[in-house]
């Protein structure tokens, strides 16, 4: 009996989403002869029954396209703004799933989406998810699609800032995405040869950072690049937050808040000002922001998206549901949603990348 499959993209947009939709679609429709329908703007579209056809020519020419042809949103099934109120729309979503006669729903998203997908699984739906995020912080997978492309964009930015730092004898502080995990700042910092890399996992001491910059300056290099992840904090700030958390309900750690659009800029500006004061060098900041999400996926991301997408189709063909398709070396692996949801993959402080960076004289402010 022919299966009917639904697909949606949720959370922040990320390069490779369309390549993954194409991978799922070509395999599901072309290879396995099933039916596929898209839902618009994440879980909201499923709730509102807004569909997008995917069996015509819609999959052609999208392999290289940034963003998502399905649209996306950060709406959660169980806490969805409807008519000015926040409601639990899980029931409506389950209803619509069945009304469409779906055999499986494929959800492409980051950490928050894995949690929402698990909720729908627990509500009885057949779910497969793919791990998408430029932050690379989804648990239980080697890597997420979007990361390699964002890494390339952030690295190119660091390269460009080198010219201006060098020509003007300046400190340039470049803020890179990642509020819980420092993968992107760490990777772009190594690849771009940043002199200082600050990530959430290694609280920094601004005096250590300034000392490292002054050492470089005395050694004849009166310019430095500081790659800072959005979520990087100083040891002082960490202590202050820890004190607060003992008193209050912690808010920032709510894993449902997938990539909130918080302004980290203030913290970055303050860091630049401190470094200027401590080193006597001019400091400038650059905030990469949404640039890191956009544009055509890299070759590596297109391959990753394609193979995760076709592996999702394989699972569906086998009738195996309730899994995230994870990248494991050059192969893929089905990981139960329960093992993924609610977890964040942060950078271990003794990770090989960190160890390697320290050996090429990168400072981590610790």
Nearest distance from C-beta of residue 352 to a copy of itself, angstroms: 5
Contact flag: residue 142 with a copy of itself (CB under 8 A): yes
Residue from 13, 41, 103, 135 carrying the catalytic annotation: 135
Residue 101 CA to residue 99 CA, distance in Å, equals 5
Give the range of 82-90, 167-175, 199-207, 224-232 binding a copy of itself by CB under 8 A.
167-175
Q: Kindly indicate which of the ranges 18-26, 109-117, 238-246, 247-255 contains the residues binding a copy of itself, using the contact rule CB under 8 A.
A: 18-26
The full 3-state SS of the chain, as one line of letters, equals: CCCEEEEEECCCCCCCHHHHHHHHHHHHHHHCCCEEEEECCCHHHHHCCCEEECCCHHHCCCCCCCCCCCCCCCCECCEEEECCEEECCHHHHHHHHHHCCCCEEEEEECHHHHHHHHHHHHCCCCEEEEEECCCCCECCCCCCECHHHHHHHHHHHHHHHHHHHHHHCEEEEEEECCCCCCHHHHHHHHHHCCCEEECCCCCECHHHHHHHHHHHHHCCCCCEEEEEECCCCEHHHHHHHHHHHHHCCCCCCCCCCCCCCCCCHHHHHHHHHHHHHHHCCEEEEEECHHHHHCCCCCHHHHHHHHHHHHHHHHHHHHCCCCEEEEEECCEEEEEEHHHHCCCECCCCCCCHHHHHHHHCCCECCC
35 makes contact with a copy of itself (CB under 8 A): no
Site for a copy of itself in 178-237 (CB under 8 A): 187-188, 190-193, 221
Choosing from 72, 90, 133, 346, the residue that interacts with a copy of itself (CB under 8 A) is 72
Asked if residue 175 lies in contact with residue 228, where contact means CB atoms within 8 angstroms, the answer is yes
Provide the pairing of β-strand 224-229 with 282-287. Answer: unpaired
- Say how many residues touch a copy of itself, by CB under 8 A: 86
Stretch that binds a copy of itself, among 79-87, 98-106, 251-259, 347-355 (CB under 8 A): 347-355
Query: With respect to a copy of itself, which residue has the nearer C-beta, 343 or 351?
Result: 351
Binding test (CB under 8 A) with a copy of itself, winner from 34, 108, 161, 337: 161
- Residue from 5, 6, 7, 15 touching a copy of itself (CB under 8 A): that is 15
Q: Which of 290, 319, 349, 366 binds a copy of itself (CB under 8 A)?
A: 290
* Residue 75 falls in the annotated catalytic set: no
Determine, following the binding rule CB under 8 A, whether residue 295 of this chain makes contact with a copy of itself. Answer: yes
Q: Which of residues 81-120 bind a copy of itself (CB under 8 A)?
A: none
* Least separation in angstroms between CB 52 and a copy of itself: 13
Q: Which is nearer to a copy of itself, 156 or 237 (CB)?
A: 156
Least distance in angstroms from the C-beta of 249 to a copy of itself: 27
- Least separation, in Å, of the C-beta of 279 and a copy of itself? 17
Q: Which of 7, 8, 20, 23 binds a copy of itself (CB under 8 A)?
A: 23
Q: Which stretch binds a copy of itself (CB under 8 A): 122-130, 248-256, 270-278, 282-290?
A: 282-290
Residues designated as active site: 135
């Amino acid at each position: 009996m022919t299966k009917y499959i639904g697909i949606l993209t949720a959370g922040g947009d990320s390069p490779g989403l369309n390549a993954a939709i194409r991978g799922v679609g070509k395999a599901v429709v072309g290879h396995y002869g099933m039916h596929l329908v898209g839902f618009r703007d994440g879980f909201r579209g499923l709730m509102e029954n807004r569909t997008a056809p995917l069996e015509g020519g819609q999959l052609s020419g999208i392999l290289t396209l940034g963003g998502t042809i399905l649209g996306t949103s950060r709406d959660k099934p169980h806490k969805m703004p409807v008519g000015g109120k926040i409601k639990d729309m899980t029931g409506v979503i389950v209803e619509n799933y069945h009304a469409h006669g779906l055999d499986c729903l494929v959800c492409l998203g980051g950490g928050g989406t894995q949690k929402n997908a698990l909720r729908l699984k627990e509500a009885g739906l057949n779910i497969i998810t793919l791990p998408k995020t430029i932050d690379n912080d989804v648990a239980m997978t080697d890597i997420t699609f979007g990361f390699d492309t964002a890494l390339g964009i952030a690295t190119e930015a660091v390269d460009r800032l080198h010219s201006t730092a060098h020509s003007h004898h300046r400190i340039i502080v470049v803020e890179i995405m990642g509020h819980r995990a420092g993968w992107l700042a760490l990777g772009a910092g190594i690849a771009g040869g940043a002199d200082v890399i600050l990530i959430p996992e290694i609280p920094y001491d601004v005096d250590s950072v300034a000392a490292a910059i002054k050492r470089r300056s005395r050694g004849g290099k009166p310019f430095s690049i500081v790659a800072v992840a959005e979520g990087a904090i100083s040891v002082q700030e960490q202590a202050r937050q820890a004190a607060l958390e003992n008193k209050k309900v912690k808010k920032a750690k709510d894993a449902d808040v997938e990539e909130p659009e918080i302004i980290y800029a203030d913290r970055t500006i303050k860091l630049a000002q401190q470094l200027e004061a401590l080193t006597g060098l001019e400091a400038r900041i650059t905030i990469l922001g949404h640039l890191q999400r956009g544009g055509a996926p890299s070759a590596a991301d297109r391959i990753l998206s394609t193979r995760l997408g076709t592996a999702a189709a394989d699972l569906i063909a086998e009738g195996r549901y309730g899994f995230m398709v994870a990248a494991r070396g050059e192969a893929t692996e089905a990981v139960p949603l329960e093992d993924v949801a609610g977890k964040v993959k942060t950078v271990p402080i003794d990770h090989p990348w960190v160890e390697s960076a320290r050996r090429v004289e990168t400072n981590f402010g610790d």
